[in-house]
Amino acid sequence: MHAFLVTLILFTGAVLASLALLIALNKAGREGREHLDRRRRHILEPAVFRYIHETGHRALPNYLPKSLSRRDRRVAEAVLLDAARLVRGEARDRVTAAFEALGSVRDAILGLRSQRWWKRAESAERAGLMGSQSAVEPLVAALGDDEGEVRIRAARALGLVRGSTSIRPLVGALADPNRWSAIRVAEILIGVGPEAVGELLAAYDRLPVAGRVSALDILGRIRSLEAVPLLKRTLNDQHPDLRARAAYALGLIGDPAFVAVLIEALRDVEWPVRATAAKAIGRIGGRAAIPALCEALKDRQWWVRANAGEALRLLGPEGRDALIAMLEADDTYARHQAVAQLEEGHIIDDYIADLGSPDESRRSAAVRFLEKVIALQRHERLTQQSVEHAQEGIRRTLLKILNRPLPEGGT
Amino acid sequence: MLILQSVLGEIVLAFNRAVIYYFIALNGVYLILFVISLIEVRRFVKRTFFSDYEQILRSDMTWPISIIVPAHNEARNIIETVRSLLNVNYGQFEIIVVNDGSTDLTLERLIETFDLKRTDKIYRRALPTGPVRGLYATLEYPKLLVIDKERAGKADALNAGINVSRYPLYCSVDADSIIEENALLRVVKPFMEHPEEMVAVGGIVRIVNGCEVRDGRVARIGLPRRALPIFQVVEYLRAFLSGRIGWSTLRSLLIISGAFGLYRKSEVIAVGGYDRWSETEDLQLVLKLHENLRRNKRPYRIVFVPDPVCWTEVPSTFRVLARQRNRWHRGLLQSLWSHRRMLFNPTYGIIGTLALPYFLIFETLGPFIEILGYIMLALSWALGLLNTDFFLLFLVFAIFFGVFLSVAAVLLEEISFRRYPNWEHLATLVLIAILENFGYRQILSLFKVKAFWDFLRRRRAWGRMEREGFHPAPPPPPARPNPAGGAPDTQGAPGARGAS
Amino acid sequence: MTGKRDMVLIVDDDALVRRFVGELLHAHGYDVHLAEDGEAALRQVGELRPDLVLLDLVMPYKDGFEVLNALKHDPATREIPVMILSVRDREEDVVKGLNLGAEDYMRKPFSTQELLARVRKILDRRR
């Protein structure tokens, strides 16, 4: 027993000591490496930058010391990777050429076949940043990797290299149930722009609902006119998310001719569709939609009311007049939404300013308007202006209006 | 007399053996959690080698988030907190500060600094709360909304914030904590990776004592000067890096710190929001979520991201620490008691059979065994029964094992996030990791024993509140809002930007 | 480029960008100074009176818009041209930057030759 215990204690002590040692060695090793890297970088970085900044035919090795250690190559590659993120145009091409000259592209392609998934993911990322066409084929192969992180990095890398061969697998990757990955793919496709439209339209019917949502969004953000028939058709899709996205995308494309179908969508049974339709009309600025928007101001859903109100506010004088008219709507929510939008659009302030106008009719119109606002018990702005407004006359008039007994009603 | 002494001696020795078994079991559990965490942290660090936060940030398809900040007498911190939140790196979000009946100038300072105006906003009271005195907003900071309400506690303030919030996800943030710039991106990531299943996400809370804070962000990381907070730094490292990551991997994370957590609003409303009677409303909420989802046999995830998200101040005096731990432990006991039907109940899966029993045995009963163990050790020494072998055995399993795990937590930090860059910091952390097993942890156990006592004394009082708190809980709302009717409502599901 | 060299202050919180752009402008005969955040930038503009400020937008403590605003509201520095160089590529940021008084706006990643041409043009115009 005694011997066992002594062994046990010695063992625990040894484990503890080695643990502490492990921590220290880990840190010391890392810091040592970082220190050496920094020292080499100090020498190599200006040379690499000089290479990038110049024009001409001299390749990178001419700027660097004659014999490069493995560390030097790694450091130079790190500098190039940093620079690759900063530049485009001719300088970017020089960076790519430098990667090729250093042999980094070959290394990255080899790394794509590593046993460890994070090596593969890292290699894919590097290959993308290097931007070399020779990496396209191995990257396309990596799109079929077992590890999700490798697939997404490969997709992203292909987006950076941008050969048209890479668009199809990217579109396919929209089907990934992981939204984080799908968004990253979507952003790449938006970056690709009109070139991606054909593949998106061709693949649309094969995609699951979440993928279609992304596809509609991408088409909207690319502002693809070729997608309009699909978008209009989708407004009648049975899935509400798709209807909503299609409405939104039409708003992004922004042709006034869409207003008619969007007015239809304002009467959808699902509120998210109504809300996005209102938003889209606001973006397009379709005056024909004013009556429908006024109707939407009475919606049971706050989002629909808010978007409809915003749309009216963005429609200029006619929208403003509609909002003012809605102050007398029989629906409480519509009245409140109208005030909120008038406040937001500084229209209440304009009327307050009118109180000081020399024109009698404008003054009385302002008083009538402000009384309606007060009747809705939305007098915060007025109360505040009655204290803070620069003109004393206006302050006094406001106080007078505010202190008048309420006609009747309110809410 | 001799017989009595020998009987007493037998009892003491038997108990001593039991204590050793207890420590072996306890530290064995910790060891398993540590190994799981080690694997998970390595994986996580590799995964975030290159992050694509920039891309996600720009995307229109990221989910909007409502940040809810309950504030009671926070005049000193609140402006800085709101400023730091306004600067958070995220696409679409809103900040809702809930002034919980502060008696200092919390509300006044907010109104003055951000030029807030009283406003009317119609919203649905999905959760019952205490009286709301008013809402404040300003056109200049459209993301900011302040709710002024009568004092009714943090849980009630959070519920009021949930009622007013517009977005489908909300993030609860303490008014005195400092949020890392990318915190929202880090915690929303799991939601987007598993859009159907994710319900709540927590992250690592770090200790701000000793750090230099400038303009609402941590400008220079340092260790606290005083002893007590340093002990807590190591304790937090161990709790977060090797405790919660391990539990999260086992799909049975029970604690998401109130200082920072992201939740799916509809699920929280479905369980009636936060409970006013609970001393630790954050723990209580997570338990309720687990209970509800397990009972309905829904696939779901509540996870922990091993990524630092926020910094908070910890007690630097003994008195405050004692009060804080007393409250935490009583809260744990309350929550365990109110979920006692889940204990050892296989209907609730791993939560019922593993996580809750762990909390019952090691967190609530454990401290008694531990403290008694020390007493017995002293007693057997006094009775002349203590032999060196036993004492050494006790030392190995009760103390050295603990030292190993504390130092291992420092190792985890060193291989993963390395937020403490200096050698000096690291040496201090290792030293404290050793020292915390000689005194600090025993004191924490004493706090827990004391809290258990307080809990038993007050149980009847809060038991009444518990029943009151449970009944008015509203029925769960339908999964999709019914467009044809219902109260006016600001509960945007995925919002006006389409349900992606 | 006769006599005194034109002085450019590069403001960016990213050391790499400072070194990269610094090296570029230095190689083309400019007198380059660097500032790593908004506050340092304002201080250095006051002391050095550069001929051009190259300004990043996303920075800690004081972001680019705040710096720009401060420069354009101070009669002593109002005349110093500012060119924004930022990763922010949204239309509203560009419009806001130009409205606040920036001479030019370039998005990162950028073309080095284009940057040089624009810098040269701004400085020529001022002469």
Give residue-wise pLDDT tens across range A331-372: 888 888 888 888 888 888 888 888 888 888 888 888 888 888
A153 band by pLDDT with thresholds 50, 70 and 90? confident
Name chain A's partners: 3 or more CB pairs within 8 A: B, C
- Condensed to tens digits (0 to 9), the pLDDT of residues B383-438 reads 887 777 788 888 888 888 889 889 999 988 888 888 887 889 989 999 999 999 99
How do beta strands B301-312 and B178-179 pair?
A: antiparallel
Place of tokens 């969007």: A262
Find the closest chain C residue to A85 by CA distance.
C109
B16 has a pLDDT exceeding 90: no
The span from the CA of C9 to the CA of C34, in Å, is 6
What does the pLDDT read at residue B481? 35
Two tokens, residue A315: 């429609």
What does the pLDDT read at residue B494? 30
What does the pLDDT read at residue B48? 67
Query: pLDDT > 90: what percent of chain A?
Result: 34
Contact call for A217 and B118, based on CB within 8 A: no
**B413 to chain C nearest CA, in Å?**
26
* Contacts of the segment A381-388: beta carbons below 8 A, 24+ positions apart: A381/A343, A381/A348, A381/A349, A381/B117, A382/A348, A382/A352, A384/B117, A385/A349, A385/A352
Find the closest chain B residue to A191 by CA distance.
B55
H/E stretch holding C9 reads strand C7-11
Angle (CA) A321 A326 A328, round 5°: 120
- Condensed to tens digits (0 to 9), the pLDDT of residues A228-282 reads 999 999 999 999 999 999 999 999 998 888 999 999 999 999 988 999 999 999 8
Q: How many CB pairs under 8 A join A and C?
A: 45
User: What mean pLDDT comes out for the span B118-125?
Assistant: 76
A46 band by pLDDT with thresholds 50, 70 and 90? very high
Number of neighbours of residue B75 by Cβ within 10 angstroms = 17
B495 has a pLDDT exceeding 50: no
Distance of CA B358 to CAs B203, B292, B364, B408, Å? 22, 20, 9, 21
What does the pLDDT read at residue A333? 83
Partner residue opposite A241 with nearest CB, options B46, B484, B499:
B499
Residues 101-120 of C with CB under 8 A from A: 108-114
Between residues A179 and B195, the one the model is more confident about: B195
Query: pLDDT > 70: what percent of chain C?
Result: 98
- Condensed to tens digits (0 to 9), the pLDDT of residues A19-32 reads 889 888 988 999 99
C90: alpha, beta or left, given left = phi > 0 and alpha = psi -120 to 50?
beta
**Secondary structure class of A93 (helix, strand, coil):** helix
Number of neighbours of residue B190 by Cβ within 10 angstroms = 21
User: What mean pLDDT comes out for the span A3-7?
Assistant: 82
| 3-state SS track over chain B | CHHHHHHHHHHHHHHHHHHHHHHHHHHHHHHHHHHHHHHHHHHHHHHCCCCCHHHHHHCCCCCCEEEEEEECCCCCCHHHHHHHHHCCCCCCEEEEEEEECCCCCHHHHHHHHHCCEEECCCCCCCCCCCCEEEEEECCCCCCEEEEEECCCCHHHHHHHHHHHCCCCEEEEECCCCEECCCHHHHHHHHHHHCCCCEEEEEEEEEECCCCEEECCEEEECCCCCCHHHHHHHHHHHHHHHHHHHHHHHCCCCCCCCCCEEEEEHHHHHHCCCCCCCCCCHHHHHHHHHHHHHHHCCCCCEEEEEEEEEEEECCCCCHHHHHHHHHHHHHHHHHHHHHCHHHCCCHHHHHHHHHHHHHHHHHHHHHHHHHHHHHHHHHHHHHCCCCCHHHHHHHHHHHHHHHHHHHHHHHHHHHHCCCCCCCHHHHHHHHHHHHHCCCCHHHHHHHHHHHHHHHHHHHHHHHHHHHHHHHCCCCCCCCCCCCCCCCCCECCCCCHHHCCC
User: What mean pLDDT comes out for the span B128-141?
Assistant: 88
- Condensed to tens digits (0 to 9), the pLDDT of residues C16-26 reads 999 999 999 99
Contact call for A377 and B120, based on CB within 8 A: yes
What does the pLDDT read at residue B468? 44
- On the 0-12 / 13-18 / 19+ scale of CB atoms within 10 A, A402 is middle
Between residues A185 and A27, the one the model is more confident about: A27
**Secondary structure class of A113 (helix, strand, coil):** coil
The span from the CA of A358 to the CA of A352, in Å, is 13
User: What mean pLDDT comes out for the span A211-238?
Assistant: 92
What does the pLDDT read at residue B135? 92
B485 has a pLDDT exceeding 70: no
What does the pLDDT read at residue A173? 80
Mean pLDDT taken over chain A: 86
What does the pLDDT read at residue B294? 93
User: What mean pLDDT comes out for the span C78-87?
Assistant: 93
Mean pLDDT taken over chain B: 84
What does the pLDDT read at residue C92? 85
What does the pLDDT read at residue B169? 95
Which positions ≥6 away from A206 have C-beta within 8 Å?
Answer: A175
Q: Does A91 touch chain C (CB under 8 A)?
A: yes
User: What mean pLDDT comes out for the span A119-127?
Assistant: 90
Mutate to test the interface with B, among A16, A19, A23 (most CBs of B within 10 A): A23
